[in-house]
């Protein structure tokens, strides 16, 4: 039987396999003076590891099929790979080496610091990235979850090889990792291959301070064009809350598909914007519901007005057909995704980390299908309170002056 912290799910007859390790330490857990430390460690995991130099590691990644990746989120950092079953042993060895033995060579650290600075500059030059960063600050103020994952130039300058080595060591502990492998594999063989990982305990999330809703506004001047990028946000729920299925339906009805209210009104009926959406940012301490769009300066006021109109009326005139369409769309999407070992791997990890339970498709679908019109209306009535609204707008100064 696999040890605590390891999930192995069989998919008989599949020739592909997916594996991942989730470390329960994300960017929000970094001390403020060392913001970006976890992200920089993540960069170093696949630079050199397990005695392989850069070229040897690159060749191995290519031989496995190229499906090897590392990533950093606000609450977790992870590595994942996809390959064929016959390469399972090599793939798992690479995964373990990358988790346990990233390089902290001074030259490698300096190179990846420069890469992170370039990434930071790229973010600063993209209005969509700027407004996404700004809406978290407007909603959550100075909370670590509103902090950029990359950090900033000052914090990156503090990340020496020694600091990064100690930082990396601090989250390699039983209860700090979750490994998931999905495919036509032998669980005992997988457990043996991953034996060097500290998987002796069930995952336990590190503490983050409570979220307090700021509900402010942020203006981001942009002189490189006439386009305006805007975000509105309202208090949501924590990622493990029982209201999540109904909140997913509400977001889908608003701006999650071709038949959604915002897409139909702004794109199909009025032709005011090409890009409009609704989405959720759900974290363990809490979450938010976000509506976003991009449009020309000359129509910005009208788009803002229409978005607020749709948010005001959804609690009163939402119909059963809209809910049925959203539930069917999401349910079929889940079923199709689960056929792919990589997507299934992520589902297994998410369900365990977010809800503390094993992933069962029947359970997830049943919860989704239990959502009714009244539940969604009640959520909309509770959430879309204009007095609690946070906003962020990135655009020309003339537009920013008109934002309330």
pLDDT at residue 61 in the model:
92
- Across the range 188-211, mean pLDDT stands at 93
3.90.1150.10, 1.20.140.10, 3.30.460.80, 3.30.830.10: CATH of 6-193: 3.30.830.10
| pLDDT score recorded for residue 144 | 97
Mean pLDDT value of segment 258-270: 95
Give 22-74 as a DSSP string.
EES--GGGS-GGGTTHHHHHHHHHTTSBTTB-HHHHHHHHHHTTSEEEEEE-S
Average pLDDT on 213-225 reads 93
d(Cα 203, Cα 200) in Å, to the nearest integer?
Answer: 9
How high is the mean pLDDT of the chain? Answer: 95
Average pLDDT over residues 344-363: 95
Q: How confident is the model at residue 251 (pLDDT cuts 50, 70, 90)?
A: very high
Q: Taking residues 43-53, what's their average pLDDT? A: 91
**177, 252 contact by CB (below 8 A):** no
Per-residue confidence band for 225, with pLDDT thresholds at 50, 70 and 90: confident
Query: Which stretch of DSSP H or E encloses residue 166?
Result: helix 161-170
Tell me what percent of the residues of the chain surpass a pLDDT of 90: 91
Task: Look at residue 315 and tell me whether its pLDDT is greater than 90.
Answer: yes
Say whether 217-400 and 6-193 share the same fold.
yes
At residue 378 the predicted structure's pLDDT band, cuts being 50, 70 and 90, is very high
pTM of the model: 0.93
pLDDT (tens digit, 9 = 90+) per residue, 109-165? 999 999 999 999 998 899 999 999 999 999 999 999 999 999 999 999 999 999 999
What topology is assigned to 217-400 in CATH?
A: Cytochrome Bc1 Complex; Chain A, domain 1 (3.30.830)
pLDDT of residue 263: 96
| Three-state secondary structure readout of 281-347 | EECCCCEEEEEEEEEEHHHHHHHHHHHHHHHHHHHHHCCHHHHHHHHHHHHHHHHHHHCCHHHHHHH
Which residues are bridge partners to 8 per DSSP?
181
pLDDT value, residue 3: 80
pLDDT, average across residues 364-384: 97
**pLDDT at res. 67:** 87
pLDDT of residue 224: 83
Residue 333 pLDDT greater than 90, yes or no: yes
Whether the predicted pLDDT of 223 surpasses 90: no
Q: Which residue has the tokens 């991942």?
A: 20
Band (pLDDT 50/70/90 cuts) for residue 366 is: very high
Q: How confident is the model at residue 33 (pLDDT cuts 50, 70, 90)?
A: very high
More confident residue, 204 or 110: 110
- What is the DSSP-derived secondary structure letter of residue 245? H
pLDDT at 403: 87
Domain boundaries, the chain: 6-193, 217-400
pLDDT in tens, 272-287: 998 899 999 999 999 9
Most confident of 64-68, 122-126, 259-263: 259-263
Q: What is the pLDDT of residue 74?
A: 97
Long-range contacts of 266-271 (CB under 8 A, 24+ apart): 266/293, 266/303, 266/306, 266/307, 270/302, 270/306
The whole-number pLDDT of residue 200 equals 84
Q: Give the span between the Cα atoms of 204 and 333, in whole angstroms.
A: 30
pLDDT, residue 100, reads: 96
pLDDT band at 60 (very low <50, low <70, confident <90, very high): very high
């Amino acid at each position: 039987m696999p040890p605590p912290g390891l999930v192995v799910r069989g998919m008989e007859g599949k020739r592909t396999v997916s594996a991942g390790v989730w470390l329960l330490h994300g960017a929000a857990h970094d001390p403020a003076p060392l913001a970006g430390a976890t992200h920089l460690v993540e960069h170093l995991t696949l630079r050199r590891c397990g005695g392989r130099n850069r070229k040897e590691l690159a060749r191995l990644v290519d031989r496995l099929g190229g499906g090897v990746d590392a990533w950093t989120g606000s609450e977790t950092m992870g590595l994942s790979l996809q390959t064929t079953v016959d390469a399972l042993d090599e793939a798992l060895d690479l995964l373990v080496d990358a988790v346990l033995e990233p390089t902290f060579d001074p030259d490698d650290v300096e190179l990846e610091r420069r890469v992170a600075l370039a990434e930071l500059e790229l973010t600063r030059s993209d209005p969509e990235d700027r407004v996404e960063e700004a809406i978290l600050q407007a909603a959550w103020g100075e909370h670590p979850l509103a902090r950029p994952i990359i950090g900033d130039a000052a914090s990156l300058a503090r990340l020496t090889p020694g600091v990064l080595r100690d930082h990396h060591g601090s989250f390699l502990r039983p209860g700090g990792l979750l490994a998931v492998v999905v495919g036509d594999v032998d669980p005992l063989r997988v457990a043996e291959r991953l034996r060097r990982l500290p998987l002796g305990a069930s995952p336990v999330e590190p503490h983050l301070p409570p979220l307090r809703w700021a509900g402010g506004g942020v203006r981001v001047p942009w002189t490189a064009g006439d386009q305006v990028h805007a975000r509105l946000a309202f208090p949501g729920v924590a990622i493990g809350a029982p209201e999540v299925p109904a909140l997913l339906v509400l977001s889908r009805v608003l701006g999650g598909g071709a038949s959604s209210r915002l897409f139909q009104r702004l794109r199909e009926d009025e032709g005011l914007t090409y890009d409009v959406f609704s989405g959720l940012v759900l974290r363990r301490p809490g979450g938010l519901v976000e509506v976003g769009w991009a449009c020309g300066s000359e129509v910005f006021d009208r788009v803002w007005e229409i978005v607020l109109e749709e948010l005001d009326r959804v609690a009163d005139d939402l119909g059963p057909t809209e809910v049925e369409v959203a539930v069917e769309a999401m349910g079929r999407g889940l079923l199709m995704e689960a056929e792919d070992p990589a997507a299934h791997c992520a589902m297994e990890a998410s369900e365990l980390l977010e809800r503390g339970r094993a992933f069962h498709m029947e359970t997830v679908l049943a919860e989704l299908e239990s959502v009714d019109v009244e539940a969604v209306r009640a959520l909309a009535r509770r959430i879309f309170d204009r007095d609690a609204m946070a906003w962020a707008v990135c655009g020309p100064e003339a537009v920013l002056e008109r934002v309330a």
